[in-house]
Structure 1
């Protein structure tokens, strides 16, 4: 089943090198980073907050880059995504390394070995790992990611690697175009969608769509590899999606159970709860006014808006339950939502109530005024005089 990650438990690191001391510059890479960061923050995509998406433009050292990747892999509980755009180089042993501003051909120590990225992801705690490489010879990474060493980790639910070119092919940055060929196609798919495609833009569907479009243009065709459920992870909603039948149009509820409702079981954080709650309305195709009408007037349009724009969990369940039912969510899934709400509420209460240890009562020392007035407590006098 297609799934969008919980933005509160997801991290992304976007790395790009556009300026080089010894290699040809790639000015479009800078645009790649800006546009992709904006896309990942959109509610129709992952809805990542700014502090969950790290952008490294022209990083000066491999150490700086690896620090960001390791932190993201350690902090993420749902999904971690690492994206790189720039020159891809091959070391004397035939392994891929990613070019930094000072990189040279055949000098792996001047760049960032792809093996280091893979090892950092292996050491992380995210359930899903995604690597997107927009560089020459990026297909070399397919032999490292997605094989048993990563996918067999107990904590990994799915992995997906998307590479801009085969292991022996160069990628393309068309002169005069704002983006590189591969990332430009990815951004176009996020903006325009996949005609006759799925409701959510799964990585598997994105790969097939991009491969067809790039091949039709005579440009390098991307490569991909996935394990477990990696291909079912979605990068956003499909703007070109159309319901299969009239019965699934807004206002119809006959086939509500067949829709791709957000999966409550994948929610880990309060931010993810409200992101998925908003996705429910989008999936239903209903406006705030229509949700109100279908609730029989139990919740007003303004109440719907306030519910979806909250930052803290509601203390009572009734409004959320009415909202979900009015959108058409099946009763069984409403019960799953309720269980998630109770779990998050309990977690919030635990965090809000720090443990306190009773401290021994400190002996109050006499003030200067008390000493001068001769009203020093007996115990204090004994203490000062050494009496027992």
Structure 2
């Protein structure tokens, strides 16, 4: 159940909320994500009354048997009658075994696209057996940055559904999703979300992790041929610097990732441009960090990254020794060539001698 309010009579409009609903519904329906059938994803845009909203929530909670997810974005969800309490009661009386509540909302309707809420936002919406994900911490406001298509919180959620969590679990569990979004939003100087979970709520998954890469040394699934496992280039046979960079490039080809995807899966430690420059070098890098981040971003296990580091250290030592042993070219002889002033002085001296 996706609910959003973008138009208001007495508060600033939030056009990003309308975009939130459309993009989130499409993301949840993708086979790579939740694969939610369209008939099981209800979108309610700009409800005119609180009762209309609560009636839709009660209907969703009543129809769901396994999991019900309620998402709300807008200026606010609490009024003097306590709509968050009513939301909680509607979920408690439903028949779903698990409940997820995602709140990207506010109550004060601050100017310039900001959204704020009370300190007990998460506690008021807590339901036994649920996971609650809220857009802002107690002392911060959520944001709808002007000029951006989505609110800050939902935009980060959509990016994570599309790109995944580097080095994260195979499934986008809500616990991992919350931790990743909290770090990512804080790094951008944006409000960090908060979460509450009951029982196993944090282990619920919103879909598969697109950034997940199984370790190459893991056992293959039952019925799967061992030869079908990914076979990474072996660095042990590398003898030259040119061979090092050729094999380094083969790692990315084997991973099937673009430069941008390697950057994303490295957790931002290397940019796509840095990946390109690394693979097109002619001399070995003097430090190891960038190459290590690249190999990890491609999905190599730590044991194999250590093997690559040993080869890099060997080649670096060899090139250093060769450079030191290379004979130094003799410097040209320093013949003195008289300046114009010196030549004129010599002529004057000879004339004076003859006279």
User: CA contact under 8 A between 1:138 and 1:166: conserved in structure 2?
Assistant: no
Provide, for residues 35-79 of structure 1, a one-character-per-residue CA deviation record: whole Å limited to 9, x for no partner.
111111111222222221110111111121111111110111100
Equivalent residues in 2 for 1:210-359 (5 A)? 210-248=181-219, 251-252=224-225
For the Cα contact (< 8 Å) 1:37–1:53, is it kept in 2? yes
- What residue is the counterpart of 1:140 in the other structure? 120
Map of 1:38 onto structure 2:
26
Structure 1 unaligned segments of length 5 or more: list them.
Answer: 1-12, 89-95, 98-106, 152-157, 257-388
- Distance in 2, matches of 1:184 and 1:243, equals 27
Question: Is the 2:34–2:207 contact (alpha carbons within 8 Å) kept by the matching residues of 1?
Answer: yes
1:138·1:163 contact (CA, 8 Å) conserved in 2?
Answer: no
**Residues 218-254 of structure 1 deviation map (CA, whole Å, 9 limit, x = unaligned):** 1000000101110000001000000023445785559
Query: Do the aligned partners of residues 165 and 228 (structure 1) sit closer, same or farther apart at CA in structure 2, a change above 3 Å counting?
Result: same
CA distances 1:183-232 after superposition (whole Å, capped 9, x unpaired): 00000000000000000000000000000000001100000010111000
Which of these residues, 198, 207, 211, is aligned with residue 169 of structure 2?
198
Given candidates 66, 79, 84, the residue that maps to 1:78 is: 66
Residue-by-residue CA offset, 1:261-320 (whole Å, 9 max, x unaligned): xxxxxxxxxxxxxxxxxxxxxxxxxxxxxxxxxxxxxxxxxxxxxxxxxxxxxxxxxxxx
Residue matched to 1:209: 180
RMSD (CA atoms):
2.3
Secondary structure of 1:60 counterpart: coil
SS of the residue 2:44 aligns to: strand
TM-score (ref. length: structure 2): 0.58
* Structure 1 counterpart of 2:50, from 59, 62, 69: 62
Change (3 A) 1:116 1:253: farther
Contact map agreement 2:84 2:125 (CA 8 A) in 1? no
1:149-168 map, 5 Å: 150-151=127-128, 158-168=129-139
TM-score by length of 1: 0.53
- Is residue 2:156 matched to residue 1:185? yes
1: distance between equivalents of 2:53 and 2:35?
23
CA distance in 2, matches of 1:141, 1:130: 15
> C-alpha displacement at 1:18, in angstroms?
0.6
- Work out which structure has the larger RCO, using CA pairs closer than 8 Å and 6 or more positions apart in sequence: 1
- Between the aligned partners of 2:118 and 2:13, the Cα distance in structure 1 is 18
Aligned to 1:381: none
Check the 8 A contact 1:139/1:164 in 2, yes or no. no
- Per-residue CA deviation, residues 82-106 of structure 1 (Å, 9 max, x unaligned), is 0000113xxxxxxx61xxxxxxxxx
Provide closer, same or farther for how the CA distance between residues 195 and 252 of structure 1 changes in structure 2, counting only shifts above 3 A. Answer: farther
Match of 1:53 among 41, 44, 53: 41
1:18 and 1:215 map into 2 onto residues whose CA distance is 25
Query: CA separation of 1:246/1:66 partners in 2, compared to 1, >3 Å: closer, same or farther?
Result: same
Task: Find the aligned partners of 2:220 and 2:212 in 1 and give their Cα distance.
Answer: 12
Which of these two proteins has the greater Rg computed from alpha carbons? 2
Q: Distance in 2 between matches of 1:22 and 1:45?
A: 37
